[in-house]
């Protein structure tokens, strides 16, 4: 079977967030899927297979980190849609059935893909004990996110602080069910983005995820409320970076970005 590695939320190879993608006839047992994801050893590997015509979705979609299955993943969904479109397997709009519900992707005329995801809820909470020490930075505010994400959204003082973080991953591992999203407003109005973020997910085997699409279902409503605008652009990453364009649409968040295939080969397992 063909296996691909796609860099998501970028139009340049070796940037953005890489995801493994396998298109299957059906899902094998979970243990096999997990072994493949561990072998690929990226933050997520996506597995998809076509569904019968006439249903509410066109493809079934699952995502695995090297250690566990997750409920929602943005960049691997973008990568999967990119593979479907660039191989001619699907065109236009594709509906995916996933753990978090029906996700819809649309190929745009400019080569980008727009994804329709559920908007995360945001619940303000006190700063958890040990979080400032684990991040190594003073915290402005903390919000808990929806169940399908399970992250702590943490606002820090400024962009420089976010970019310079060197967290204690072992300490962060026990502070949330999935991860910690550190964020701040962009420092320069001419930067081409409105806010920055970095995502740390040691609880699911990923110390830092370069560009986390699902996190932007929480970042979008958070910063849209702050700026009073429905459409924003987020910049995420440490060593690897990417841009996510967001638009609030009621209880849904639209995420838009490029993707590029960098590796294609045969899986012989």
Tokens representing 228 are 């009073």
Tokens representing 68 are 């566990």
Tokens representing 191 are 């930067």
Q: Exactly one of 39, 44, 108, 132 is catalytic; which is it? A: 44
Sequence-separated (6 or more) residues with CB below 8 Å from residue 216:
74, 234, 244, 246, 253, 255
Count CB-CB contacts under 10 A for residue 266: 7
Rounded CA-CA distance 46/42 in Å is: 10
44 is a catalytic site residue? yes
- On the 0-12 / 13-18 / 19+ scale of CB atoms within 10 A, 171 is middle
Taken as a whole, the chain contains a residue count of 269
69, 80, 18: which is closest to 208 by C-alpha?
Answer: 18
Q: Which residues are catalytic?
A: 44
């Amino acid at each position: 079977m063909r296996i691909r590695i796609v860099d998501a939320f970028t139009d340049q190879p070796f940037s953005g967030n890489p995801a493994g993608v396998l298109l299957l006839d059906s899902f094998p047992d979970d243990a096999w899927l997990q072994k493949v994801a561990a072998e690929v050893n990226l933050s997520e590997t996506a597995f998809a297979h076509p569904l019968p015509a006439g249903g509410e979705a066109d493809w079934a979609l699952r995502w695995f980190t090297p250690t566990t299955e997750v409920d929602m993943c943005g960049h691997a969904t973008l990568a999967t849609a990119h593979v479907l479109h660039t191989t001619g397997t699907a065109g236009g709009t594709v509906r995916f059935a996933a753990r978090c519900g029906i996700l819809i992707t649309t190929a745009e005329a400019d080569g980008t893909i727009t994804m329709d995801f559920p908007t995360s809820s945001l619940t303000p909470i006190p700063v958890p004990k040990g979080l400032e020490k684990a991040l190594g930075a003073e915290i402005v505010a903390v919000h808990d996110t929806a169940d399908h994400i399970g992250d702590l959204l943490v606002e820090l003082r400024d962009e420089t602080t976010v970019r310079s973080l060197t967290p204690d991953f072992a300490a962060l591992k026990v502070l949330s069910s999935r991860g910690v999203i550190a964020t701040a407003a962009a420092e320069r109005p001419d930067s081409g983005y409105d806010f920055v973020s970095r995502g740390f997910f040691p609880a699911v085997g990923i110390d830092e995820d370069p560009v986390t699409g699902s996190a932007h279902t929480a970042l979008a409503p958070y910063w849209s409320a702050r700026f009073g605008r429905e459409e924003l652009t987020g910049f995420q990453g440490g060593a690897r970076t990417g841009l996510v364009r967001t638009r609030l649409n009621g209880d849904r968040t639209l995420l838009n970005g490029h993707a590029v295939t960098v590796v294609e080969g045969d899986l012989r397992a």
